[in-house]
Structure 1
């Protein structure tokens, strides 16, 4: 079996939902962001990363997302929106929002997803915990959405597609569940 550092990182990366309060180092943030810039794309790199480390703004994003969730027709989301103990950012000190140009010639959701995966793998490779978060993006559908977009300096004609939280893992050991069987079909 072929084994190398990249494959080990892919196999050990897990979604972390419990973080230490300490902010990540600037050098770590820059390494993760640069990895996102090197993701595969349709050729125009029409994405934009917004790194948020302001605690008050992170809390406002959490509350706005919960407000929007309460208006959704999906019961599970309503329950999370009404849960006073739920924080959609899991207390992480850093959030990266990945936005894509709505004027790009190709659909940007795949490009933004590839960039997001690079962010996650880079974080794991340098010992940071991370989690791909969709819930917080509902903040942009709340009444505060337009003001939040301006405050976050998301470029005009860009849509937030994905987001990642980063921080130091609260627990050092992470359980790696077995992979489900029969998920691959070979046709040779």
Structure 2
């Protein structure tokens, strides 16, 4: 089958964990957000909400609180990351898009995952780096949960499901690791 832009973008995209400090343009931001809102959703409900965070102080506080929350998770790998003072959950990205969904929405977790995937593919297509970051979820649910919901303008009845760190890549991504074999079976 001949390659096309979409298939090439899917195969080329890698999680970026090293960003330049320059802020992305408004046009770039709007392009990736539009891709998010064009994701499929169960029953075409479109019950997601996107919060764009570009305030450095807010990002630093989210990083701190998410790491504090993650340090309580019963997983050694997560605890090591959370306790590493040099680790930044957003990898220094100047923009983070928090993807939230209406808690009682039909299949809302899948809908938010589809929107997140669209955002990271759109970012790659226009030359931005991105990283899907669920570590941010550890900042919610604790003492500061309601404070963050208000500060970030989450609509009532919505909860965060993921986030995407966005920015310009410090370096080009490496080649894709080998894909696992024997993950497909056919019933014909």
Aligned residues: 187
Structure 1 consecutive aligned stretches of length 4 or more whose deviation exceeds 6 Å: none
Partner of 2:68: 67
Matches of 2:142 and 2:84, distance apart in 1 = 17
Matches of 1:44 and 1:186, distance apart in 2 = 32
1:129-140 map, 5 Å? 129-140=129-140
TM-score (ref. length: structure 2): 0.96
Using the TM superposition, give the Cα deviation of residue 77 of structure 1 relative to its aligned residue in structure 2, in angstroms: 1.8
Using the TM superposition, give the Cα deviation of residue 167 of structure 1 relative to its aligned residue in structure 2, in angstroms: 0.4
* Contact in 2 for aligned 1:46/1:108 (Cα 8 Å): yes
1:117-128 map, 5 Å? 117-128=117-128
1:83-98 map, 5 Å? 83-98=84-99
Matches of 2:90 and 2:116, distance apart in 1 = 16
Deviations for 1:18-51, whole angstroms, at most 9, x for unmatched residues? 1001010010000000000000001110110001
Using the TM superposition, give the Cα deviation of residue 173 of structure 1 relative to its aligned residue in structure 2, in angstroms: 4.3
Q: Give me the CA root mean square deviation.
A: 1.1
Matched residue of 1:34: which SS? helix
Which has the larger displacement, 64-73 or 25-34? 64-73
1:145-164 map, 5 Å? 145-164=145-164
Partner of 2:51: 50
Task: Give 5+ residue unaligned stretches, structure 1.
Answer: none
Matched residue of 1:141: which SS? coil
Using the TM superposition, give the Cα deviation of residue 54 of structure 1 relative to its aligned residue in structure 2, in angstroms: 0.5
Partner of 1:81: 82
Matched residue of 2:166: which SS? strand
* Contact in 1 for aligned 2:16/2:173 (Cα 8 Å): no
Partner of 1:101: 102
Using the TM superposition, give the Cα deviation of residue 2 of structure 1 relative to its aligned residue in structure 2, in angstroms: 2.4
Partner of 1:14: 14
Task: Give 5+ residue unaligned stretches, structure 2.
Answer: none
